[in-house]
C-alpha cells in the first residue's frame, strides 16, 4: 500500500509552498479512500512517495488515468493567498491504494528532489 503525491515541476514556488501543497494532496486523497484501504495502509507504515511531472498538461494526463482506474485521488487548486494566482493546479494526491495499481500509472515519473 502506498500514497503518491505528484507535483508540477514548472511552478516557481518555495519549498514551503511545495510542502503545503503536497500535504493538501495527501489529505484530500486520504479522505476519499475506502476505509478498508486506509486501515491497511496505516498498518503498513503509511508509505508516501512524492513525484514530479514537467507541467500541468502532464499532471492532467496522470489525473485522467488515476480517475479511470478508480483510485482515490485529489487534484489540488491553490487558493491564491500567497505565491500563486487563485485556482492554480499544483499537484495530485493519489491513494492510498495497492502499490501495483498506482505503479501502473506512476512508475515512469521521477522523484521530486
Q: Which domains does the chain have, with CATH numbers?
A: 2-111 (3.40.1490.10)
Return the pLDDT at 78. Answer: 96
Instruction: Give the distance from CA 60 to its chain's centroid.
Output: 11
Whole-prediction pTM: 0.96
pLDDT digits (tens, 9 = 90+) for 19-63: 999 999 999 999 999 999 999 999 999 999 999 999 999 999 999
Return the pLDDT at 63. Answer: 98
Amino acid at each position: 500500500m502506498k500514497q503518491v503525491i505528484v507535483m508540477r515541476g514548472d511552478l516557481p514556488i518555495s519549498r514551503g509552498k511545495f510542502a503545503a501543497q503536497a500535504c493538501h494532496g495527501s489529505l484530500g486523497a486520504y479522505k476519499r479512500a475506502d476505509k478498508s484501504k486506509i486501515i491497511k495502509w496505516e498498518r503498513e507504515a503509511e508509505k508516501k512517495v512524492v513525484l514530479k511531472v514537467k507541467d500541468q498538461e502532464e499532471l492532467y494526463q496522470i489525473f485522467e488515468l488515476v480517475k479511470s482506474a478508480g483510485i482515490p485521488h485529489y487534484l489540488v487548486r491553490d487558493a491564491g493567498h500567497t505565491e500563486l494566482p487563485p485556482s492554480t493546479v499544483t499537484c495530485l494526491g493519489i491513494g492510498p491504494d495497492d502499490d501495483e495499481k498506482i505503479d501502473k500509472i506512476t512508475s515512469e515519473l521521477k522523484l521530486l528532489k
